[in-house]
Structures are given as C-alpha cells and as structure tokens.
Amino acid sequence: MNIETSVAVQIVGGALVAGFIQGISGFAFGLIATSIWAWTIEPQLVVPTVIFGSLLGQLISISSVRKDIRAARAGPFLIGGMLGVPVGAALLPMLNANVFRLGLGSVLIAYCSVVLLGARLPRITRIGRGGDLLVGWIAGLMGGASALSGPPMTLWCAMRGWTKDEQRATYQSFFVGTQILTIVIYVATGVINPHSVQLFWLVGPPIVLASWVGSRWYKGLSDAKFTRYLFLILLLSGLTLVSTSLPRLLMAATAA
C-alpha cells in the first residue's frame, strides 16, 4: 500500500493529537483519531489502527500512575470487560452505528455541560464490586460493538470518589486488558493484515512521543484540574460523535 505524502502527514498529525490527549487524560484516543483518520483511511483499516494506537499510547502513559494500580480495584472492571467485549463484537453487525453514536454523544454533551457549569458530581460509595463489574461489562460491550468503551469507565471512576491517579490507574488497566483481547481477536480473524501493519509503523513513533509528553503534563495537574479536563474531553468526545453521525443520518434519511 503506497501512502501519499499529504495523506501520511494527516495520519501522523492525527496520531500526534490523539496521542497527546490520551497522554493527558488516559483515554479518548479512538474518538480523536477516528474523527481525523476517517477522511483518509478506509474503514477496514481505521479500526485496527485505532485499537493499536490506543493500546500503544496506554502502555506508554500508564507508567505515570503505575504505583496506584491495584488488582483488587481494577479486577472487577476487567472481568466484566472481558465478558462484554465478545458480546459487543457479536452485536456489531446488528447495530446502527450512527444512531448509537448520536445517542451517546447527546448524553455526553448534556451531562458534561451540566457538570462543567458547576453542578456537583455525584459520589458513588455504597455500590461495591458488583457495580464495578457491571460497568466494566457495559464498557466492554460498547468497546466490542463500537470502540467506545471510554465514556462509561471514565464517568464511573470519576464518581467513585477516587483521586485522579486512582481513577486513571483503574480505567487505564481496564483499557490495556480489553484492547489486548481485541488485538488477539483481530489477529485471529484476519482483521489485522499487512496493510494494517504498515500503518502501525507509520503511527507508532508519533504516538509514543505524544503520549509521553501528555503524561508528563498530567503529573502537574491537581485533582480538581484533572476532573475539569476530563469532562472537557468527554464534552469534546460528545460533540465529535454528534457532528460525525448526524450528517450521515440526515443523508441516509434524504436518500430514503
């Protein structure tokens, strides 16, 4: 596969932006990268490249919170996620991706706008590991069906009353585990092919650099600033989902 210079620049640029944002927040690589790469990379290559890039960025940036990784805290999420990913992958052919993204994006915009305007974030302290397992399952299902496991995990961890490092260590552990499982499934089913690997080599170095720089910036954030950045990024994610899905639904309705 030959990649034109202008296309390669856009791909690398998307990798830098998405990698940097993931380095700061610990998530959102897929939403940012997909919104940029979808214009230049065919869909069959976007998905595995996004999963690879997100996993690579997670492995680089998770070092900033490695001391706060706890198996007891992350375990229920991972168990739920491992059960949810195959279900989501099986549901993928039956879902209308644009309707799903529009609905999720609208909820994110409404909820994050309320929080950013000053509403107090609810604290969930009485729901134990059963609730964490259920959220992990929902996030895994959404990840398998649409590569959008980030919002439920990050929102739930933010409401658990944990510090920014505890939140990030928990949801990044979840993302690493479920994305490794997804990569294995993609290799086994042939989704990852020589063309995918060529793109991996192109996006890998900028993702490593940008994720490392973003994770250094993260260390200087207070808990309050981290929470605000987290919801700003979630709001941006919601706007991205709506802006990319709504035109496609309108086009489909007009064509019908």
The b/e string for 145-183 (b: 16+ C-beta within 10 A; e otherwise) is bbbbbbbbbbbbbbebebebbbbbbbbbbbbbbbbebbb
Q: What is the DSSP string of 22-71?
A: HHHHS--HHHHHHHHHTTTS-HHHHHHHHHHHHHHHHHHHGGGGGGG--H
Q: Does residue 171 or residue 95 have the better pLDDT?
A: 171
> Quick one: pLDDT at residue 230?
83
pLDDT at 16: 95
| pLDDT number for residue 231 | 83
**pLDDT over threshold 90, residue 184:** no
Query: What is residue 43's predicted lDDT score, i.e. its pLDDT?
Result: 67
pLDDT digits (tens, 9 = 90+) for 84-122: 988 887 776 676 767 877 887 887 888 788 778 766 767
pTM of the model: 0.81
pLDDT above 80 for 13: yes
* pLDDT mean over 140-153: 80
Between 113 and 4, residue with greater pLDDT? 113
* pLDDT attached to residue 1: 60
Q: Which of 172, 175, 248, 245 is nearest to 215 (CA)?
A: 172
Q: Dump pLDDT digits (tens) for 204-256.
A: 999 999 999 999 888 888 888 888 888 888 888 888 888 888 888 888 888 76
